[in-house]
Amino acid sequence: MTERLVDTPEGRSRTTTTTPRGASRGTLVLGHGAGGLRWTQDVLQVRDAAVDGGWSVVLVDQPWRVASRRIGPAPASLDRAWTTVVQGLPATRAGPLVLGGRSAGARVACRTATVLGADAVLALSFPLHPPGRPERSRADELALPTASGIPLHVVQGRTDPFGGPAEVRAVLPPGATLDDVPGPHSLEKAAPAVATHVSAWLDRLR
């Protein structure tokens, strides 16, 4: 496991890279949500399962977390920092580049996938709308990867107040896929199931 600080226009970001024992099948880059200063179990178990499956995994801490602030900035700031970090990944990496994250991190991945040349996008707990405000849909963000021909996979909690599986399926772009798991927006208790679904999806990527 290797940590590195990366200078971005929004301040210093941090990457934590875990590599498999043998040759890497590809690189999975994951971002976090909009609150809290720790990595959640769903992301950590996805990382561990992906590494076991032969993937290199990079966890990206946005500058606001590195600075120990508790609330993230506006989307444009998140996108600028994330883009700088991903563009600075080693050019020697092999295989597909998969961008993803949970909640706000999933939104960042969707918004930047095209410009960063992602081969696929993974969205954990995509926040389709604020709780109780379905009219404020972010379906347009969810559609961005597939509009550029980039595969998209969503893992959504069945009781997520930010949009349950039925709501997400109703706006899911053609060709995108979705797995639903027990639980709300937090997928902590469903982390093993999340990791299993993501591993199976990664195995299908070529």
**Which range marks the domain in which residue 20 is found?**
2-204
The C-alpha torsion from 137 through 138 and 139 to 141, rounded to 10°, is 170
Query: Residue 186's domain is classified under what CATH number?
Result: 3.40.50.1820
Which tens digit of pLDDT belongs to each residue from 99-144?
Answer: 999 999 999 999 999 999 999 999 999 999 988 898 899 999 999 9
Please report where in the chains the tokens 């989307």 appear, as a residue.
75
CA dihedral 100, 131, 75, 116 (to 10 degrees): 20
pTM: 0.95
179, 155 in Cβ contact below 8 A?
A: yes
Q: What is the pLDDT of residues 145-166, one digit of tens each?
A: 999 999 999 999 999 999 999 9
Instruction: Find out whether 205 and 26 touch, Cβ atoms under 8 Å.
Output: yes
Strand boundaries in the chain, DSSP class E: 2-8, 11-18, 26-31, 55-61, 97-102, 120-124, 152-157, 177-181
165: helix, strand or coil: helix
Closest by CA position to 118, among listed 126, 128, 104, 108 = 108
Residue % of the chain over a pLDDT of 90: 86
Query: At residue 191, does pLDDT exceed 70?
Result: yes
| Paired sense of beta strands 120-124 and 152-157, if any | parallel
* Token code pair at residue 82: 């994330």
Contact yes or no for 53/96 (Cβ under 8 A): no
Paired strand residues for 102? 124
pLDDT band at 92 (very low <50, low <70, confident <90, very high): low
Domain count, the chain: 1
